[in-house]
Amino acid sequence: MRLFKIILGVAVVGILGFFGIKEIIADPVYFLELFLGGLTRGSIYALIALGYTMVYGIIQLINFAHGEIYMIGAMTALIVASVLGLWGWNSAVIVILAIVFAIVYSCAYGFTVEKIAYKPLRTAPRLSALISAIGMSLFLQNYVMLAQTSEFMPFESLIPDFKFWEPVAHIITAVEMTIIVTTIIVMILLGMLIKFTKIGKAMRATAQDKIMASLVGINVNRVISTTFVVGSATAAIGGVLIACHVGQVNFFIGFLAGLKAFIAAVLGGIGSVPGAVLGSLVLGISESMFTGYFWSEYEDVFAFSILVIILIFRPSGILGKDETSKV
């Protein structure tokens, strides 16, 4: 088995490496474009995957409604931006307010979802909470569809095409650059929150051992709520950014994005924050490369194949701790 793994690994890396180097030398700009495109996509996955991985780290629940929180963020930004746009507000103010509202609304939804759908099931078998999560996801999708519309709605990019950006716009657009930079900032802030603040310390303690944490005076319920709120906030930022990038939203955008982010989280090692970021970037960049150099028809097939291959080698993900767990 071990020999098989090694042979498989060497074969995959060898073939990819051979073609990769040949292609990169032939057209380095194209490679750069694909790489940056993949980085953008990976950043969006990462913003969503953080919510999955943090929640899993603390209560071992796959929060399948998380994709919907991302969608609600994009929707809220759309509504706020169009209303303020009608009133003729300054576009810089609109951007900030739209993002703030998106974050506040998504956090409120994330918080409420936890209180309604997961908290009563805290001691129930894990499968019950999982079913509850799927139910919540369907509910939120249909709720937004009925309250808003089932059609796609145009989303005017809140980030303008800056004049000074024009020379490189054909390689990476201003919006894509914004996505990457914002993601980096969010990651740094989140890292600091977890490492250096009191609540971050409490989160780490709760993740290690819930009972022990409560014995030493940590309010576990509050820590769990905070985790949902933080995860929702990053998802909302992701929602607003991607809507600016592709220019439209509807009630269903959270499904595929959420699924991909979930794969990314598993890929990186679910429960691990750096793992989720790494997994997202690996997934985003390899998807982009695959579409660019092979066939876009099989982009999703490829994404799932990567998941399978990595899980063969490291069953708990790239940065995951070695312990068996089930979804």
Partner 1 sequence: MKSFFKTLALALLTMVVFAAPGFAGDTIKIGCGGVISGDLAPYGISALRGAEIAVEDLNAKGGILGKKIELLVGDDVCKPEVAVNMATKLVSDGAQMIVGHVCSGATIAANKIYKDAGLIVISSASTNDDLTLKGEHPNFFRTISYDGAQADLMTSFVKNNLKVKTVAMIHDKGDYGKGQMELARQYFEKLGGIEVVLFEGITTGAVDYSAIVQKIKRSKAELTMFGGYHSDASKVVGLLKKKRVKTIFFGADGIIGDNFVNLAGKYSDGVYATGPNDTSSNPLYQEISAKHQKKYGEAAGTFTHNGYACVQALAAAAEKAGSLDYDKMRAAMFEIKVDSPLGPIGFDKNGDVIGAGFSVYQVQNGKYTQVN
Site for partner 1 in 50-89 (CB under 8 A): none
Asked if 264 is part of the footprint of partner 1 (rule: CB under 8 A), the reply reads no
Stretch 174-213: interaction string toward partner 1, x if CB under 8 A: -xx-------------------------------------
Nearer to partner 1 among residue 18 and residue 295 (C-beta):
295
Between CA 275 and CA 174 the distance in angstroms is: 27
> CB–CB of 70/238 below 8 Å?
yes
Strand ranges, E, within 104-148 = none
Asked if 260 is part of the footprint of partner 1 (rule: CB under 8 A), the reply reads yes
DSSP state of 230: H
Instruction: Single out the residue of 293, 190, 245, 242 nearest to residue 45, CA to CA.
Output: 242
Q: Which stretch binds partner 1 (CB under 8 A): 7-15, 149-157, 213-221, 265-273?
A: 149-157
Q: Which stretch binds partner 1 (CB under 8 A): 74-82, 115-123, 184-192, 291-299?
A: 291-299
Asked if 173 is part of the footprint of partner 1 (rule: CB under 8 A), the reply reads yes
Asked if 24 is part of the footprint of partner 1 (rule: CB under 8 A), the reply reads no
Asked if 103 is part of the footprint of partner 1 (rule: CB under 8 A), the reply reads no
Residue 156 burial (CB count, 10 A): 13
Residue 249, strand partner residues: 153
Q: Which of 12, 212, 256, 327 binds partner 1 (CB under 8 A)?
A: 256
> CB–CB of 106/69 below 8 Å?
yes
Asked if 299 is part of the footprint of partner 1 (rule: CB under 8 A), the reply reads yes
Q: Which of 206, 226, 250, 316 binds partner 1 (CB under 8 A)?
A: 250
Asked if 41 is part of the footprint of partner 1 (rule: CB under 8 A), the reply reads yes
Q: Which of 10, 116, 246, 312 binds partner 1 (CB under 8 A)?
A: 246
Residue 248 burial (CB count, 10 A): 13
Between CA 44 and CA 281 the distance in angstroms is: 9
Q: Strand, helix or coil at 124?
A: coil
Instruction: Single out the residue of 72, 76, 320, 42 nearest to residue 187, CA to CA.
Output: 42
Instruction: Report the interface residues with partner 1, using CB under 8 A.
Output: 27, 30, 33-34, 37-38, 40-41, 44-45, 150-154, 156, 161, 169-170, 173, 175-176, 242, 245-248, 250, 252-253, 255-257, 260, 287-289, 291-292, 295-297, 299-300
